[in-house]
């Protein structure tokens, strides 16, 4: 390690005095102007991680659904997964080290993680469309070059595209070609294979309006358009030419406010969807003839995909284990429908994609979605091998056709991470194959009315939870209070959990009516305010 170069470059990316940040589920996220030293140091860390695992590591500059003024950075592990938890700690240590400590911290990480500095290293870089992203990704490159590693800068890509490239690279092309063309070709080919089987009625079925949150999704969808078959008529809105990223639009806005985004005019019964700022989340919605807005969130997406996969798995008659993984935020009626009507096992885990992904890996077919629209499907190696073998060797026509559709699903789904583009194509294919309208999909079950709130607190760490975040252990008395409040309403439940990124406590409540869900959420927010050190004025109803 060249100490002189490290000192020189580090001085160009100084750490603001007194700033400490934590590497969370989404990496680092904060105001863009506070990130320069962080991204430089994450360039260093990506090289160390690459040397430690002898594989290519990804580094993505994005703050996803945060406002345009923010930015962030996260690392991608060799198979396109999120950074290993033990390295999240190293990331935090390196980010917060004082200038003169930097070399010492790097040496410590190398010792703890058995990093061989003589090894070659390689890093893939991607960024979103934020005004600050180009300069920040240049700082990442500075960090990589200080440690003398190879890098490939993909420039503007969606977050899932970078995850995909890293996985392709480290599987020696088994997962696909590590280029944008490779990504577009693989997905469009699988999509066309799937919808070949559909006898879709009428043109209206194929029109889809997409709100791209004024983000990277618009650019990449436009690039992908030539790869789509004629029948797919996608109309892109909020494409970033006029308005600000994530401002009054995008999947997060639509989910939280339960209303359509700005910049997209909806006619009754038109199928619409929204991506988030870095295109790793998707939600669908429509307006009925009475003008009411209907949201179709991650729970309903998981349900649609599960119905389709369960039907195909029944036809191939293999003993595959399938399950759906949810978090405490999943609507109670979605869980009931999956377990009681579809008879599919459902598992609840802590919030955060890494927990869902990890649990889904335990099954032959693991479907996971967060209610916010982030999710995917994982197929075990054994299941994938068996399905591909059936396509080649199965004599029975029905079995072979079902295996063929499963094979196309395996290729269409981005198994590394939730991917709005890939998920959208999966959903469009299933709707076409099943001849379902958006209203029929929505009518599978009725969501229980719910409300999300947040309360500012002095320190979010006063709240500790258990049972996949469904019960609060501390502060004393809070869970008892919540239990008493929940008893007042029918079909109700509520839980609280600390935010992973800011000093707020998030509250979720559901009940038999919207009025009751709102009342319960408000009462729980008051309990949190009084028992967990609320800041400012008490929450108003």
Q: DSSP secondary-structure letter at 513?
A: S
Whole-number Å distance between alpha carbons of 532 and 357 = 31
Contact by Cβ (8 Å): 80, 416:
yes
State phi, psi for 9 to the nearest 5 degrees: -70, -35
Determine whether the annotation assigns residue 280 to a binding site: yes
Determine whether the annotation assigns residue 278 to a binding site: yes
What number of other Cβ atoms are within 10 A of residue 226's Cβ? 8
Render pLDDT for 23-56 as a digit per residue (tens, 0 to 9). Answer: 988 899 999 999 999 999 999 999 999 999 999 9
Question: From residue 453, how far is each of 72, 163, 221, 290, 494 by CA, in Å?
Answer: 24, 32, 33, 28, 11
What number of other Cβ atoms are within 10 A of residue 303's Cβ? 26
The residue written with tokens 């839980």 in the block is 495
Percent of the chain with pLDDT over 70: 99
Q: Which tokens go with 470?
A: 């469904």
Contact by Cβ (8 Å): 26, 125:
no
Q: DSSP secondary-structure letter at 190?
A: H
Determine whether the annotation assigns residue 137 to a binding site: no
Q: Which is it for strands 493-498 and 56-61: parallel, antiparallel or unpaired?
A: unpaired
Determine whether the annotation assigns residue 64 to a binding site: yes
Q: Which CATH architecture has domain 298-420+436-443?
A: 3-Layer(aba) Sandwich (3.40)
| DSSP notation for 358-383 | HHHTTSSEEEEE-TTS-EEEEE-HHH
Render pLDDT for 338-380 as a digit per residue (tens, 0 to 9). Answer: 999 999 999 999 998 889 999 999 999 999 999 999 999 999 9
Contact by Cβ (8 Å): 344, 299:
no
Whole-number Å distance between alpha carbons of 515 and 497 = 22
Question: Which residues are known catalytic residues?
Answer: 64
Determine whether the annotation assigns residue 331 to a binding site: no
What number of other Cβ atoms are within 10 A of residue 201's Cβ? 10
Contact by Cβ (8 Å): 492, 520:
yes
204 has a pLDDT exceeding 60: no
Q: Which tokens go with 207?
A: 């029109």
* Nearest of 305, 268, 294 to residue 446 by alpha carbon: 294
The residue written with tokens 């919808």 in the block is 195
pLDDT band at 200 (very low <50, low <70, confident <90, very high): low
Q: In what order do the strands lie in the sheet with 504-510?
A: 450-456, 504-510, 493-498
Whole-number Å distance between alpha carbons of 233 and 210 = 11
Whole-number Å distance between alpha carbons of 212 and 188 = 19
* Nearest of 483, 491, 494, 495 to residue 512 by alpha carbon: 491
Same fold, 3-156 and 298-420+436-443: yes
CATH class held by domain 450-532: alpha beta
The residue written with tokens 């066309």 in the block is 192
Whole-number Å distance between alpha carbons of 75 and 58 = 6
Q: Greatest CA separation found in the chain?
A: 70
Whole-number Å distance between alpha carbons of 259 and 286 = 10
Render pLDDT for 116-144 as a digit per residue (tens, 0 to 9). Answer: 999 999 999 999 999 999 999 999 999 99
Whole-number Å distance between alpha carbons of 293 and 281 = 20
Q: Which is it for strands 322-327 and 365-369: parallel, antiparallel or unpaired?
A: parallel
Top pLDDT among 231 and 518 is at 518
How many CA within 13 A on the CB side of residue 458? 6
pLDDT band at 231 (very low <50, low <70, confident <90, very high): confident
The residue written with tokens 């996949």 in the block is 468
Query: Residue 199: what pLDDT?
Result: 64
With a CB cutoff of 8 Å and minimum separation 6, the contacts of 479 are 471, 472, 473
The residue written with tokens 């059936």 in the block is 390
Determine whether the annotation assigns residue 497 to a binding site: yes
- Among the four given CATH numbers 3.10.170, 3.30.70, 3.40.120, 1.10.10, the one describing domain 182-294: 3.40.120
CATH class held by domain 3-156: alpha beta
Domain boundaries in the chain? 3-156, 182-294, 298-420+436-443, 450-532
pLDDT band at 503 (very low <50, low <70, confident <90, very high): confident
**Average confidence score pLDDT of the chain:** 94
State phi, psi for 102 to the nearest 5 degrees: -50, -50
Mean pLDDT of 183-212: 83
pTM given for the model: 0.93
Query: What would the 3-class secondary structure string for 167-186 be?
Result: HHHHCCCCCCCCCHHHHHHH
Strand partners, 73: 28, 61
Render pLDDT for 463-481 as a digit per residue (tens, 0 to 9). Answer: 999 999 999 999 999 999 9
Determine whether the annotation assigns residue 370 to a binding site: yes
Whole-number Å distance between alpha carbons of 509 and 491 = 11
Q: Which tokens go with 268?
A: 């009754």
Determine whether the annotation assigns residue 252 to a binding site: no
């Amino acid at each position: 390690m060249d100490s002189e170069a490290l000192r020189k470059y580090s001085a160009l990316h100084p750490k603001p005095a007194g700033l400490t940040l934590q590497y969370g589920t989404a990496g680092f996220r904060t105001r863009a102007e506070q990130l320069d030293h962080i991204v430089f140091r994450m360039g260093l860390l990506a090289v160390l991680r690459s040397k430690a695992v002898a594989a290519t590591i990804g580094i993505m500059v994005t703050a996803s659904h945060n406002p345009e003024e923010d930015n962030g950075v996260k690392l991608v592990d060799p198979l396109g997964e999120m950074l290993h938890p033990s390295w999240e700690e190293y990331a935090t240590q390196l980010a917060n080290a004082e200038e003169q400590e930097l070399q010492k911290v790097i040496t410590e990480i190398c010792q703890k993680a058995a990093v061989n500095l003589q090894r070659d290293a390689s890093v893939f870089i991607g960024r979103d469309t934020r005004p600050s992203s180009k300069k920040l990704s240049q700082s990442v490159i500075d960090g990589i070059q200080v440690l003398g590693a190879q890098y490939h800068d993909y420039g503007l890509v969606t977050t899932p595209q970078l995850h995909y490239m890293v996985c392709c690279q480290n599987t020696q092309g088994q997962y696909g070609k590590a280029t944008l063309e490779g990504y577009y070709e693989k997905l469009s080919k699988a999509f066309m294979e799937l919808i070949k089987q559909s006898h879709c009625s009428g043109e209206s079925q194929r029109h889809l309006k997409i709100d791209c949150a004024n983000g990277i999704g618009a650019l990449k969808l436009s690039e992908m358009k030539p790869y789509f078959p004629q029948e797919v008529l996608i109309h892109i809105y909020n494409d970033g030419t006029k308005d600000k990223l994530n401002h009054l639009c995008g999947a997060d806005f639509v989910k939280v406010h339960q209303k359509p985004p700005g910049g997209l005019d909806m006619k009754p019964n038109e199928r619409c969807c929204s991506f988030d700022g870095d295109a790793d989340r998707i939600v669908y919605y429509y307006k009925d003839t009475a003008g009411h807005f209907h949201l179709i969130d991650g729970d309903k997406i998981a349900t649609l995909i599960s119905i389709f996969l369960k039907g195909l798995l029944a036809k191939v008659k293999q003993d595959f284990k399938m399950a759906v993984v949810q978090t405490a935020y999943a609507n109670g009626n979605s869980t009931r429908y999956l377990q009681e009507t579809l008879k599919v096992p459902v598992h609840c885990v802590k919030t955060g994609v890494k927990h869902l992904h990890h649990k889904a890996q335990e099954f032959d077919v693991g479907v996971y979605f967060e209610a916010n629209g982030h999710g995917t499907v994982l197929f075990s190696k054994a299941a994938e091998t068996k399905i591909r073998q059936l396509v080649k060797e199965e004599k029975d026509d029905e079995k072979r056709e079902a295996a063929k559709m499963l094979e196309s699903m395996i290729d269409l789904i981005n198994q590394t991470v939730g991917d709005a583009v890939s998920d959208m194509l999966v959903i469009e294919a299933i709707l076409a194959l099943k001849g379902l309208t958006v209203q029929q999909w929505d009518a599978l079950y009725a969501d229980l009315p719910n409300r999300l709130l947040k309360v500012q607190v002095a320190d979010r760490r006063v709240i500790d939870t258990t049972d996949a975040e469904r019960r609060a252990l501390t502060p004393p008395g809070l869970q008892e209070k919540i239990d008493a409040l929940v008893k007042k309403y029918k079909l109700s439940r509520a839980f609280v959990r600390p935010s992973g990124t800011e000093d707020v406590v998030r509250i979720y409540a559901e009940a038999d009516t919207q009025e009751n869900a709102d009342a319960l959420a408000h009462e729980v927010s008051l309990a949190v305010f009084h028992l967990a050190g609320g800041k400012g004025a008490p929450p108003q109803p």
